[in-house]
Amino acid sequence: MNIQLAINQGAQILKNKSYLNPYLDSEILMSKVINKDKKYLLLNAQNKIDDKNLNLFQKLINERSKGKPVSYLTNKKLFWNSEFFVTEDTLIPRPDTELIVENILNMTKNKNKLSILDIGIGSGCILLSILSERRDFYGTGIDVSKNCLKIANMNASNLKVHTRLKLYKSNVDKFTLGKYDLIVSNPPYIKKHFLKYLDKGVAKFEPKIALDGGLDGLSEIRKVIKKSSELIKKNGKFILEIGFDQKNKVINLLNKEGFYINSAQKDLADNDRCIICTKI
């Protein structure tokens, strides 16, 4: 069997299951198995693939056909300017979350030595992207998941920002260390009963703990807002990712904790996705 034929067969299996990008997925999985880039696949399409690799490739196609996201099969996801290592312990970084990075970079253009806290750091995609663009900023990340902290640490080393990062395993309500110029969080905010209606790849494979926002979707957001209000410096900025229908409720919660709302931003699908505010 040659590479091209194997890719075609893989793509056909995924196409039959109505996946959106069957050929692309198949190519990515082949790249992973033979550890070569897309250019190599094109130039060497007629090369034979050995049995061991073919077997591995078919295994990955099979897992993909059962709905496992490609990023969990390759353990990689591009986000902002970098490639992040991800596993099923972390959410797969979303393009919508890049909005948060973009906003933070815009508002910190002329700032020096800011100290940033990321509540629920996960893979580290938000905080580490900022640290890699602002070489004199310091980051602190907390998470309840030990595995996420390991992954964030690994990503920090890959991005060469690990010397400016501190990580703590902690619950949001228990964390009391430090005062921050800027706090960011993408907490779990999906309503518990809605989890099962999420896209199959999300519902079945992504970590519930990173998605489940309790009965009204706001249980973690409430804790994050309360804690941020304690840990933020006066005039510090707080940037929060929210669900598409949570803007007004979240603004109320923020106002009660002494935050002035600077703006609410929409994501690529025109849903409310992020709130920027200042502690007064």
List contacts with ligand GLN (CB under 6 A). 94, 186-190, 198, 202, 211, 241
Query: CA 150, CA 122: separation in Å to the nearest integer?
Result: 9
Q: Which is nearer to ligand GLN, 211 or 232 (CB)?
A: 211
Q: How far is the CB of 82 from ligand GLN (least distance, A)?
A: 20
Q: Which is nearer to ligand GLN, 244 or 260 (CB)?
A: 244
Q: Which is nearer to ligand GLN, 167 or 211 (CB)?
A: 211
Identify the DSSP state of 7.
Answer: H
Q: Which is nearer to ligand GLN, 26 or 97 (CB)?
A: 97
Q: How far is the CB of 190 from ligand GLN (least distance, A)?
A: 5
Q: How far is the CB of 119 from ligand GLN (least distance, A)?
A: 11
Q: How far is the CB of 160 from ligand GLN (least distance, A)?
A: 27
Q: How far is the CB of 121 from ligand GLN (least distance, A)?
A: 12
Query: CA 159, CA 137: separation in Å to the nearest integer?
Result: 14
Q: How far is the CB of 243 from ligand GLN (least distance, A)?
A: 7
Query: CA 225, CA 256: separation in Å to the nearest integer?
Result: 10
Q: How far is the CB of 216 from ligand GLN (least distance, A)?
A: 13
Identify the DSSP state of 235.
Answer: E
DSSP 10-71: HHHHHHHTT-S-HHHHHHHHHHHHHT--HHHHHHTTTSB--HHHHHHHHHHHHHHHTT--HH
For 257, the token pair is 């904790």
Neighbours of 171 (CB within 10 A): 11
Q: Which is nearer to ligand GLN, 77 or 162 (CB)?
A: 77
Query: If you search the block for the tokens 């100290």, which residue do you land on?
Result: 115
Query: If you search the block for the tokens 């519902």, which residue do you land on?
Result: 203
Query: CA 172, CA 182: separation in Å to the nearest integer?
Result: 16
Q: Which is nearer to ligand GLN, 107 or 202 (CB)?
A: 202
* CA R_g for the chain: 21
Cite the DSSP H helix spans in 145-199: 146-158
Q: Which is nearer to ligand GLN, 71 or 186 (CB)?
A: 186
